[in-house]
Amino acid sequence: DAGVTQSPTHLIKTRGQQVTLRCSPKSGHDTVSWYQQALGQGPQFIFQYYEEEERQRGNFPDRFSGHQFPNYSSELNVNALLLGDSALYLCASRPRDRSSYEQYFGPGTRLTVT
Amino acid sequence: AQKITQTQPGMFVQEKEAVTLDCTYDTSDQSYGLFWYKQPSSGEMIFLIYQGSYDEQNATEGRYSLNFQKARKSANLVISASQLGDSAMYFCAMRVGTGFQKLVFGTGTRLLVSP
């Protein structure tokens, strides 16, 4: 049973460019959340998707947007990249069984903006 | 506002010894949950243990136990019989909100296990 997968593993972009990160949730999971983890910090919540809609959003500008597909996979898009967007981007999924609060994380995408 | 505080930037422990990683939290919600995650240098967040605010017993998962003191708003992680492979960053997190819940993380504690 595959866990949460993310692609790509690493990415280098230039300021002003746009980037798309991808996440496939664990089997049996339907809710996907995205987190940004700057170097030396804990992850910060970006947003959460359920039933193809954004359900909650953290304190991130509109340059950060996302999408969830019918197969529950998700994309995170960041426009007009800034140097400060350099971070590890983590995707987490939650099971359809709401009696479980556990969130499973993927290995992350390390984004470097130069 | 919900907040997690981890006051130990780094901890050292010898192999086979026990270690306690501190976590305090702040929330006005009655229903909440506390997690501990391990993050090795590879970056993936590995779930270790979960404690719900209404759980009367402290959670245990193998060598991990959570010392939950509700009145003090603390949720310390105890790792017994440390192993070299336990060297990693450890994050305490709290789930907030009902329904579509997000996690609020602390700043983490780096644990180094020496032989």
The one-digit pLDDT tens for each residue of chain B (115 residues) are: 789 999 999 999 999 999 999 999 999 988 899 999 999 998 889 999 999 999 989 999 999 999 999 999 999 999 999 999 999 999 999 997 666 678 999 999 999 999 9
Chain center to CA of A49: 10
Which of B33, B83, B102 is closest to A42 using CA atoms?
B102
d(CA B80, CA B77): 10
d(CA A37, CA A19): 16
Bridge partners of A110, per DSSP, are: A10, A88
d(CA A4, CA A104): 7
Identify the DSSP state of B59.
P
Which of B108, B68, B65 is closest to B88 using CA atoms?
B108
Contacts of B91 in chain A (CB under 8 A): 42-43
Nearest Cα of chain A lies from the Cα of B18 at a distance, in angstroms, of 24
Contacts of A48 in chain B (CB under 8 A): 100, 102
